[in-house]
Structure 1
Amino acid sequence: MNSATPQGGYENGYKSCPCFWGDAPGALIKAFLKERSSCEGLSVLDLGCGEGKNAIAFARAGAAVDAVDCSAQGIANGRRAFPHPSINWVVADAEDYLTRSRVYDIVVMYGLLHCLPSQDAITATIDLAIERTANGGRHFVVAFDDGPHDLSAHPGFHPTLLPHNFYLSRYARHHVLRAESAMIHEVHPNNNIPHFHSITRISPRLHRITRSFRLRAAII
């Protein structure tokens, strides 16, 4: 998770139980890696990486990964849990990082966007991430949407909840390979409170012509 200020109870979770998010990659990442024999030569930005469970999955598949999160504790946990020479761990704010980052083949934003403070901030982050993605590259986006939520496990957390169609609209010019709104039920290991969230999952392939960044061959 990532935002200008760590929120949502995750910082306490990172302090109380390393591997707060477990060690298995998210569903979109798992499906993508299952389809490929290797990610050798690909560059990946895991933006809002938390402790890096998606970053390590890509690194083990051969990709070079920049794992970025605003939580120093989350990054420290990730370094200990998932040491790998192909992961570059970075403590930084998401939007600030994107303003100076290089171009990537893949950008992962898993659990990041709803932690940002406003729709404008979410829009700016997605647009910057698109700019920093090679033509033919992929995004993997998972965010809370405006469906039902039980936030009892997250005291003091006020996520920015936007409609599923908002996220689809940000990728209207691209090829959306998978898009769904679903409900998940979970229990965090730091408090053991059962709760649920409505989430959006989107996996687009980016198609654009740009003068700012060199074109790259489609990776899929």
Structure 2
Amino acid sequence: MREKLARNISIYRKERGLTQEELAQILGLSFQAVSKWENAQTMPDISLLPQLSRTLEVSIDKLLGYVSQDKPITIYEEEYKTPEYYWGTEPNKVCYQILQWMPPNTHLKLLDIGCGEGKDAVFFARNGYDVTAFDISDAGVEKTNRLAEKIGVHVDVFKADILDYRLDTHFDIIFSSGVLHYIKPDFRKEILDNYKQYTNPSGLHVLNVFVHKPFIAPPPEKEPNAHNWYSGELLTHYHDWFIQDSSEVIFDCNSSGIAHKHAMTKIIAQKIIL
């Protein structure tokens, strides 16, 4: 709890463009008090939480690390509430490549970040991986559980916000498809460093991001919480890992019922320990 609160105070303070001194001044405290909160040396007095919440423009629940239930963060929350699977149930093609690169001949732990309705997470579980997955959508988590039950496999799936959630246990494979654009630029290094830290030696990261191209029109879906990535940006976070693949494609999409195009960068990187 203390570490999560410390991290969230720091994150939301920076989002509001406040220094530790400015936040302390608003709260009538010394900047050392705020510094100790963010270093998890102390915690704010409970009587300060309402004012802290108002100042940082975030609910107390979210400040304490609980995902807010009162409003959807993803535009797909309503789409996932339908009986049909919005993205289908066939796994991403790269999932088959992961089976080749790192088959589960031994016990391998895999994390699916932003699992959506669970098609990839369930595929991995069906093929013998120990799968953990999370998504911001309540409906997505429910459908992941439903699909896993139908196939007869177990996926440890839960609700979490990619901006707030940090790893505290190690994985052999970290996988994410079409989700990392929800990470604001200021927090990409911190979040990816956390994922790298909690990856076992010889582990894989298989990630893709939508990248901005001036010659491709914006997608028809209005994503209020999406943030552009740029060609080559994802690769810079893995300069110290072995790069198995770093490719970019432009592809047609009809997910919204309106034909459009996306540009996407994929990276497959391995953690090599000498």
Does residue 21 (structure 1) correspond to residue 87 (structure 2)? The answer is yes
Specify whether residues 36 and 134 from structure 1 end up closer, same or farther in structure 2 by C-alpha distance, changes over 3 A only. Answer: closer
Query: Normalized per residue, which structure has more helix?
Result: 2
- From 53, 59, 69, the counterpart of 2:119: 53
Aligned amino acid, residue 107 of structure 1: I
In structure 1, the residue matched to 2:246 is 179
Unaligned runs of 5+ in 2: 1-66
Q: How many residues matched?
A: 202
Does residue 97 (structure 1) correspond to residue 165 (structure 2)? The answer is yes
1:148-159 to 2 correspondences below 5 Å: 148-157=215-224, 159=226
In structure 2, the residue matched to 1:207 is 272
Partner secondary structure for residue 164 of structure 1: coil
- Asked whether the 8 Å contact 1:174–1:205 carries over to 2, the reply is yes
Q: Once the 2 structures are TM-superposed, how far is the Cα of residue 205 of structure 1 from its aligned partner?
A: 0.6
- Asked whether the 8 Å contact 2:85–2:117 carries over to 1, the reply is yes
Specify whether residues 207 and 34 from structure 1 end up closer, same or farther in structure 2 by C-alpha distance, changes over 3 A only. Answer: closer
- From 132, 137, 150, the counterpart of 1:71: 137
* CA RMSD, 1 decimal: 2.3
Query: Normalized per residue, which structure has more strand?
Result: 1
Q: Once the 2 structures are TM-superposed, how far is the Cα of residue 35 of structure 1 from its aligned partner?
A: 5.1
Q: After superposition, what is the alpha-carbon deviation per residue over 1:38-97, rounded to whole angstroms, capped at 9, x for unaligned?
A: 455100110111111111111111011011111111111111123244311111122433
* Length-normalised TM-score, structure 1: 0.82
In structure 1, the residue matched to 2:230 is 163
In structure 1, the residue matched to 2:177 is 110
In structure 2, the residue matched to 1:216 is none
* Length-normalised TM-score, structure 2: 0.67
Specify whether residues 135 and 161 from structure 1 end up closer, same or farther in structure 2 by C-alpha distance, changes over 3 A only. Answer: same
Q: Which has the higher contact order (CA 8 A, sep 6+)?
A: 1
Aligned amino acid, residue 88 of structure 1: D
Does residue 126 (structure 1) correspond to residue 192 (structure 2)? The answer is yes
Give me the identity figure in percent.
25
Greater Rg, structure 1 or structure 2?
2
Q: Once the 2 structures are TM-superposed, how far is the Cα of residue 199 of structure 1 from its aligned partner?
A: 0.6
